A and B are shown apart, each in its own frame.
Chain A
Amino acid sequence: MLIRTKKDWELPESAVTSESAYRTHNRRDFLKAIGLGAAGAALASRDLLAATGGFPAKANPDFPASALKPTAEEFVTSYNNFYEFGTGKEQPKDLANRGWKTDPWTVELTGLVNKPVKLDVNDLIKQAGGIEERVYRHRCVEAWSMVVPWDGFALAKLVALADPKPEAKYLKFTSFLDPKSSPGQSSGNLDYPYVEGLRLDEATNELAFIATGIYSKPMPNQNGAPLRLVTPWKYGFKGIKSIVKIEFVAAMPTNTWKAMQSSEYGFYANVNPKVDHPRWSQASERVIGEGSTFIPKRQPTLMFNGYEKQVAALYKGMDLARNY
């Protein structure tokens, strides 16, 4: 599927996005008007966060909303895999919003780099040149998919800031570790902190993205506040949430799911309809929020989730059935 369509330069933002933003504003005004003190204050500080984070972002016309239909915002923020806050899809929305602090947030760029740095996420956004909006397909390894309007910046910009040394071949991403705020970490449903990795050339691919928001708003906690990785040609579990450290390393890092069950989850995790999960098929996917209540919409899964043109060259000559 083509995603570069020159004509889309001219098109306005998708109706879904602007409509939901409009609704949210109304609700804020309403809450303030009826004098919900605490709620009003919390929302106001979120407005502040939005401003410092550079919201609303300009849409990147290379990845337009008009080419794909975004999934309803309430599904994107209510149907989450964030095992730090429970293995149920409905749990993160509740459990990640019970006092877990994601503001302020410090990110560390370290390892084999010329410019190691530890900085506040808002400074990182500024140094990366601000944020933009991109609409990407999102395919979970569990055979469901969404379309999400992400806000953030190209991962390549972050790599440039860190200025990797020649011996750096991989990026190792580490998420937060705070068992007191994270019921999943205190129950130990996975090995924490969550770790993910990318090859350096994957990280500098134009699609690789650090998201700091969705739907023109700062990232909700349950979606991985305040910043997360988005690699739309890979299964969702590669998209590590709530990153605290990005380390440039020489050897391939072991990602959490691979460590958990290497026969089912690999390092690459590229979306591939021809390579099944050992327990289910990856040939097609359920489109979240589409179809009727009892008859869901399914569609064939595309190679590299439809981003073959941009990323296929990264894996030239590799046996993708073995390097899953």
Chain B
Amino acid sequence: MAVLEKLLRSKVVIWILLVLPGLWPLWPIFIRPNPSVGADPLKYILHHFGFTACVLLATVLTFTPLRVLWPKWGIAQALNRHRRLVGVVSFAYAMLHLTAHLVYETGLDWSQLGHVFEVATTKPFQLVGLIAFTILLVLTVTSPNAAIKALGGKRWKLLHRLVYVAAALSAYHQAAARKVFPMQVVWIFGPLLLLEIARIIRERKPKPVARKAAGNAEA
């Protein structure tokens, strides 16, 4: 446990964990070619990046509730050092996902780009993905310390609560990407939902008077 905690505190380890999923498609496309992937490699890449973005977004959002629920747990503390990094990399995968979609739909014929965006804004499934992406874009742009200062802590925090909207929209977008409901959405977003519910219950319980005392005891 202590070893894991030490590893998770390290920025290098987290960077490796974040970059590796992006390299994964190289395996079935080039290293051990799989014809099921080779039939439509960019579609595979496109889905893989979207999947990774969802996993990272759902994962980073569990960090805070984990710390609230188990404040003394070293792993939760270690993970909370990397909230901003994991969040920004989640956006990076969302951007790769969108880029892959644009290349896939246009086949690099950019005269089709207008049409692709027109489709994206008229189909709820795609529009929802685009809104989630836009939210993540805004949050990424406002993630540097300078932006926090410029906005003021309170306003910044309020703005960054939008990440929960992005997560909910991503879950819908991922579910709607398949013809039948994909169970993976439950595995990815289910734990987050449970943790958030537990966190809300925990934060509500000791209402007005006891709240401060409980907070101090935990700290």
Partner-B contacts on A (CB < 8 A) = 74-75, 77-79, 83, 87-90, 93, 142, 144, 189-190, 260-261, 276, 278-281, 283, 286, 288-289, 291, 293-298
Contact = CB atoms under 8 A, between A and B. Distances in A.
A294 B107 contact: no
Given A295-B107, A297-B107, A75 B178 contact: no
Contacts of B119: 276, 280-281
A291 B36 CA distance: 16
Given A278-B123, A280-B119, A289 B39 contact: yes
Interface string B70-107: 00000000000000000000000000000000011111
B156 interface: no
A159 to B, nearest CB: 30
B131 to A, nearest CB: 15
A190 B40 contact: no
B214 interface: no
**Looking at chain B's contact residues, is the secondary structure mostly helix, strand, loop, or mixed?**
helix
A289 B42 CA distance: 11
B126 A79 contact: no
Contact of A291 (B107, B124, B179, B182): B107
A279 B182 CA distance: 16
A83 B178 CA distance: 12
Interface in B101-135: 103-109, 115, 119, 123-126
Nearest to A144: B40
Contacts of A261: 179
B34, B41, B43: residue with the most chain A Cβ atoms closer than 10 Å: B43
B176 interface: yes
B60 interface: no
Contacts of A88: 36
A291 B38 CA distance: 11
Given A189-B180, A278-B123, A286-B104, A296 B36 contact: no
B180 A190 contact: yes
Contact of B40 (A77, A278, A281, A286): A286
Contacts of B105: 298
Contacts of A295: 42, 103, 107-108
Contacts of B115: 281, 283
Given A260-B180, A280-B119, A294 B39 contact: no
A273 to B, nearest CB: 12
A125 B25 CA distance: 43
A190 B115 CA distance: 33
B36 A79 contact: yes
B212 to A, nearest CB: 50
Given A298-B106, A298-B109, 12 more contacts: A79-B35, A79-B39, A87-B178, A87-B179, A88-B36, A89-B36, A190-B180, A278-B124, A278-B125, A279-B176, A286-B40, A288-B39
Given A78-B36, A279-B125, A294 B178 contact: no
Interface in B15-59: 29, 34-43, 45
Contacts of B109: 298
B35 A296 contact: no
13 contacts: A75-B38, A90-B34, A144-B43, A261-B179, A280-B119, A280-B126, A283-B115, A286-B104, A288-B39, A294-B103, A296-B103, A296-B107, A298-B109
B44 to A, nearest CB: 9
Contacts of B35: 74-75, 77-79
Contacts of B180: 83, 87, 189-190, 260
A90 B123 contact: no
B182 A87 contact: yes
Interface string B172-193: 0000101110100000000000
Contact of B37 (A77, A90, A279): A90
Contacts of A189: 180
Contact of A279 (B38, B45, B103, B123): B123
A90 B36 contact: yes
Contacts of B42: 293-296
A295 B107 CA distance: 6
B190 to A, nearest CB: 18
Contacts of A291: 107
Contacts of A142: 179
A286 B108 CA distance: 13
Contacts of A260: 180
Given A87-B178, A286-B43, A294-B42, A279 B36 contact: no
Given A78-B39, A278-B123, A286-B104, A293 B34 contact: no
Contacts of B34: 78, 90
The 7 residue pairs across chains A and B that have the minimum distance between CB atoms: A90-B36, A79-B39, A78-B35, A298-B107, A75-B39, A279-B125, A74-B35
